[in-house]
Chains A and B, each alone.
Chain A
């Protein structure tokens, strides 16, 4: 049985600008897969193709078993898109927005009303259901944006940075809703450049850079695969003398040029020994932090580029 989301060797160009250069991945039912990459990596283009909004040049794409573009009309019935932009009608109420999109996805009038009510409960907007969306806070709009994409319980959910600018409380509600969807059997593709979100939600991630998949797998595997070790950061009142770390096994100075003292460790258990060595060397330790390597670190390690790369090409944004 084909996975709900299947992308094989997907290629897409905007004129001479290559946006996707052979992207392949799949998302199984009940799975939440993160699509990570900096701006211009090709995330939105990938989502656009999957959402049937963009044509592609080559490759094989299927949504809910319907190959695109021929099966686009049928694929849309199984599709739920939560765009990065809050794409709702600002002068309508939350309930009106939800009812419209429910009807647009083919639900009957009564079923649309029930689904709208359930979605309002799910995202915590039942008490503000009749207010025009323009009156709602940014977080509430984000939640409504999510609800509009999932209220028809689609088999495939495409989320494009759904929690940008959302307050923590709303973000957690959104995460819970997404997890509920996945538990219900939906295949969820979650596009973001926030590694924390991916780590919080995604069982697997696909790292995109310049239109290509640079890595894919579980977050832990990706970090591990990048050969990254935890980092201990020390901030001292006085500079530490050279060789102060010589007696600590499994610890090496990682970045001598950094304003803070950065030590790469093979095991986080060496942290007390490092602290003791710094104290012995006369370092007036003001602050110490143990930082585990993240997906961003892994991405950086893999590509030499940060996930928040504002200089990325705009063509595929």
Chain B
């Protein structure tokens, strides 16, 4: 069985190797179609990364300032357009009018000054309305560029504002710090004044006590001296009183003696009267006098120390410096496009076209190859002859499919290599993973070829039947254009086609840059398709072969 299978496989590989035209068809034709389609449709998806498909974009920098310079520099680094500097807007317009460019970009004079001065300015896009695709792409690019410049300007202003805010914040912080210091100094001053006041009070009280003591001492001394001083006066007054008493007695005696003449006796001169105060003074107790004159507690009290009330430390109600306002500039509302898979934002059109047209030609090769190969064997009579050998029919068919599948795998590998070298297609983070969907679609395609061979009534029916099947599967399955361009119902219907799953897997690996694990599901679906096709194909083909027996 295995030897027979190997013999049949070897024979089929030899048959394929002798089919030079077929091999050219399988290799050169897809490369040509991929090149043509990729270069033709490049602007539909983006552009191939080496600029070969980039549209020409005349750029007139009449500004000469930083805006014009930035525009030119950005476009010079943009692979999806070929920027051609021209001197004036008129020259740019002439190129568009001459249909040598779909659009031209003009940086008007004064743009830099206007933007720098906060005034509005505009880039001018001159367009040819017929070349809608290129214009749309350039328009989007110009918008992106404009937005980039605008965002950069805003960013610069924001930086400046941030710097000013930082300075203001620093000044505010220093002011607050100084205010705090001042508050602290005032508080300290108040405390010190209070202490000084208390100390003065204490000193005054002490002085007052000393003063009182001294005064009491001096009062005592004064009383003593007063008593001493009043003693003669008191003696005099006592003597005076005694004398006055004596004089009155004498006078009374005189008058008595003068009998009835006493009326004629002139009144004696009135002795001066002792002032009552002096009399009182003289009669008063010296201590009382001293006490009256120098009261023991009559020492003059020291005037209360009345320092001016401590001035309330000025509250130093410094106005709170407001926080520096947040950036007042309207923040640039950027559209930040991020591939959820981390893949580049720009699509290399060949990342779509190489697997897409590769799968198309793969199907042409394997599907038509298998079906026509089996019909060839039928016509040559070799199929019937081989059926008389010990090799089972199933082995014969499997060998035929395996040979075609091997060629299909080589074909796809070759296309990926050429795509990589010529068009820079991505092979994904794990290039080996491309084998998974490739093996799946090769298996499904070859097995479907068996179905076509079994279903087609004859050779003349294979081409139309196979072609319709292949073209439909390729087109609907997203081999020729991104499947997302198709309406929803068609995309749902496309899930029944193996091409859909193959392209989904290739897109995951090559464009979305997913690891191999991301395509295991799609590969399983492809293998399931292949298994079903194989089972149906074997059943139908055996029935077809045995129909006449």
- Spell out A's residues near B (CB within 8 Å): 14, 48, 51-55, 73, 76-77, 79, 81, 83, 85-92, 96, 100-101, 103-106, 132, 148-149
Contacts and interface: CB of A to CB of B under 8 A. Distances in A.
Nearest to A74: B390
B380 A100 contact: no
A110 B11 CA distance: 16
B452 interface: no
22 contacts: A14-B548, A48-B549, A54-B548, A54-B549, A76-B389, A76-B390, A79-B388, A85-B381, A86-B381, A87-B381, A87-B382, A87-B384, A89-B15, A89-B380, A92-B14, A92-B18, A104-B4, A104-B8, A104-B389, A104-B391, A105-B389, A132-B18
B11 A88 contact: no
Contacts of B387: 52-53
A77 B390 CA distance: 6
A83 B384 contact: yes
Interface string B63-88: 00000000000000000000000000
Contact of A103 (B3, B382, B385): B3
A104 B380 contact: no
Interface string B360-403: 00000000000000000000111011111111000000000000
B388 A52 contact: yes
A101 B8 CA distance: 9
Interface string B13-28: 0110011000000000
Nearest to B379: A85
Given A92-B11, A92-B15, A53 B388 contact: yes
B7 interface: yes
Interface residues of B, number: 25
Contacts of B6: 103
B10 interface: yes
Contact of B381 (A14, A83, A96): A83
Contacts of A76: 388-390
B380 A51 contact: no
A85 B383 CA distance: 12
Contacts of B380: 85, 87-90
A106 B15 contact: no
Contacts of B14: 92, 96
A87 B385 contact: yes
Given A54-B548, A73-B390, A89-B380, 8 more contacts: A87-B380, A90-B380, A91-B18, A100-B11, A101-B385, A104-B7, A104-B390, A105-B390
Interface in B451-475: none
Contact of A91 (B3, B7, B15, B386): B15
Task: Name the residue in B10, B388, B389, B391 with the highest tally of chain A Cβ atoms < 10 Å from its Cβ.
Answer: B388
A191 to B, nearest CB: 15
B459 to A, nearest CB: 15
A54 B546 CA distance: 8
Please report whether the interface of chain B is mostly helix, strand, loop or mixed according to DSSP.
helix
Interface of B: 3-4, 6-8, 10-11, 14-15, 18-19, 380-382, 384-391, 546, 548-549
Given A87-B381, A87-B384, A100 B390 contact: no
Task: Name the residue in B3, B386, B549 with the highest tally of chain A Cβ atoms < 10 Å from its Cβ.
Answer: B549
Nearest to A73: B390
Contact of B4 (A89, A106, A148): A106
Contacts of B8: 100, 104
Task: Name the residue in A89, A92, A132 with the highest tally of chain B Cβ atoms < 10 Å from its Cβ.
Answer: A89
Contacts of B389: 76, 101, 104-105
B387 to A, nearest CB: 6
A317 B8 CA distance: 29
A19 to B, nearest CB: 11
A92 B11 CA distance: 9
Contacts of A100: 7-8, 10-11
Contacts of A106: 3-4, 390
Contacts of B388: 51-53, 76, 79, 81
A141 B391 CA distance: 24
Contacts of A87: 380-382, 384-385
Contacts of A86: 381
A101 B382 CA distance: 10
A96 B380 CA distance: 16
Nearest to A158: B388
A95 B18 CA distance: 15
A78 to B, nearest CB: 10
Nearest to A87: B381
Contacts of A149: 385
B390 A148 contact: no
Contacts of A83: 381, 384-385
Nearest to B392: A73
A152 to B, nearest CB: 9
Contacts of A53: 384, 387-388, 549
B18 A104 contact: no
B431 to A, nearest CB: 35
B549 to A, nearest CB: 4
